[in-house]
Amino acid sequence: MTPLALLFLLAAVMAIWTLPRQWAPVPLLAAACYMTLGQGIEVAGLNFPVIRLVLLAGVVRVLIRGERPAGGWIGMDKLFLAWAAWAILVSFFHKQPGATLQFHLGMVYNALCVYFLLRCFCQDEEDVYRLVRVSAWILVPVALEMLHEQVRGQNLFAVFGAVPDEPAVRNGRIRSQGPFAHAILAGTVGAVCIPMLVGLWRRYPITAKVGLAACGLMVLASASSGPLLSVLFSLAALGLWRWRYWTRQMRIAAVLGYILLDLVMKAPAYYLIARIDLTGGSSSYHRAALIQAAIEHFSEWWRTGTDYTRHWLPYGVPWSEDHVDITNHYLGQGVKGGLPLMLLFISLLWCGFRYVGQAMQNLRGRDPGREFFAWAVGAGLFAHAASCVSVAYFDQSILFLYLTLALTAALKVNWGWAPASASRAERAASYDLPAVTPTEPALPGAGASGWVPASSGPHEKPGI
């Protein structure tokens, strides 16, 4: 570990131990965004990069202070524990159980620490808004550094290792990656934060504008199709806000539409992915071929995962003799732990969407501002769900996925407790929500109630 990285680590640890609870997420986000995976220590064969050490300090903090998740144990908490338990158990069914267990323990450690720490730190409504605001400002230096890569052709984070000094170039375009392990992941981080910052616009417009500019710059500087598609999906979800009462019908229509496409197309419908290339030189065909290969070799991995996928495709990857490039987070879960692990991961996303829906239902007709913010968080989760089809989170960028899930849990705790069967009057009586009081200038034409709709949401590259 370099002296600069050690100094950063000490500062982050002291910050997470001493800051008030509501500001404790700051060092976590800083460790993910300002430090690469090249700095850390190794203990008994276990790799502890800076972000993991800061997470450990956070665990020590909540244990000493007795901080607990808001609202007690909820369904998503139990799903996370079930996902973690299966990931550990299934390790013993692989050819090298020791190495697989070590890898899965790291994966579980990251997930549980990030999610439950943010559950402990994000207790009330103001904490929810604050977490999104902090994320916006934390990403500003990252965006500026990625701009520096475009101008100077040099990655400043290379001094910490794990990222190249000169960014990759494809079709004459520099692919900035900042502290992240790949340009696609750097752009994805910016893309998935955009809808939540749109949801922040009414209440904190200055923060929203700065954050949107930073995230947009990250997406463009990454020069990757995946992040651009994630932005389009999230904006499409936000655009469906005025039709939010028809979400069930939209889900049914989407499923029927996919079935219809599968019937009329010569190739499977998922091969539409192969036609998408927003930047030139995209590897979208690989992503479609990977899905087809996983279906054809389903019997090899569905029970407990597999240790060998090299025969799935005619080409491999330089960092592994046993695997192809698993650029699909869902399939990555399947390769690691079989269909059960994949379904448990999908259940986490489903639970997050369910919490957003419950919060919106309880706010409907009485607080459009908060309701739209909940919709925006759901759009952010939708961006993650779409991104998982084309990217595997194998570095610290996965923190933003768990952050979004923690936000949906906070929405459940703060706005979603009233039973769905209760009448609107009963739901209103179950809350004592304060009026929205913007601390920054409101948007022109926005009402006092908030937002005003237009009509009056060990199988990839080495990593964390």
Burial category of 321 from C-beta neighbours within 10 Å (exposed 0-12, middle 13-18, buried 19 and up) = exposed
- Are 235 and 195 a contacting pair, CB within 8 Å? yes
| Count of residues making up the chain | 464
Burial category of 385 from C-beta neighbours within 10 Å (exposed 0-12, middle 13-18, buried 19 and up) = buried
Q: What is the C-alpha to C-alpha distance for residues 381 and 375, in angstroms, rounded to an integer?
A: 10
Q: What is the C-alpha to C-alpha distance for residues 384 and 402, in angstroms, rounded to an integer?
A: 10
Terminal CA-CA length for the chain: 16
Diameter of the chain by CA atoms? 63
The DSSP result for 253-320, as a single string, is HHHHHHHHHHHH-SS-GGGGGGG--SSSS--HHHHHHHHHHHHHTHHHHTTT--S--GGGSS--BTTB
pLDDT value at residue 458: 39
pLDDT value at residue 418: 52
Which amino acid belongs to residue 354? Answer: R
Q: What is the C-alpha to C-alpha distance for residues 413 and 193, in angstroms, rounded to an integer?
A: 21
Listed in sequence order, the residues at least 6 apart from 148 whose beta carbon sits closer than 8 Å to its beta carbon are: 154, 156
Which amino acid belongs to residue 35? Answer: M
Query: Exposure pattern of 180-206 as b/e (b: 16+ CB <10 Å)?
Result: bbbbbbbbbbbbbbbbbbbbbbbbbbe
Tell me the Cα Rg of the chain: 22
Q: Tens digit of pLDDT for each residue in 223-272? A: 999 999 999 999 999 999 999 999 999 999 999 999 999 999 999 999 98
Place of tokens 């290969």: 293
Find, among 184, 179, 331, 360, the residue nearest to 270 by Cα. Answer: 331
Residues of the chain short of pLDDT 50, as ranges, are: 419-460, 462
Q: Tens digit of pLDDT for each residue in 346-389? A: 999 999 999 999 999 999 888 899 999 999 999 999 999 999 99
DSSP 245: G
pLDDT value at residue 417: 67
The 3-state secondary structure of 339-385 reads HHHHHHHHHHHHHHHHHHHHHHHHHCCCCHHHHHHHHHHHHHHHHHH
pLDDT value at residue 116: 98
- Are 99 and 154 a contacting pair, CB within 8 Å? no
pLDDT value at residue 431: 44
pLDDT value at residue 464: 59
Q: What is the C-alpha to C-alpha distance for residues 323 and 318, in angstroms, rounded to an integer?
A: 10
pLDDT value at residue 281: 67
3-state secondary structure of 446: coil
> What is the reported pTM?
0.89
Q: Tens digit of pLDDT for each residue in 136-161? A: 999 999 999 999 999 999 999 999 99
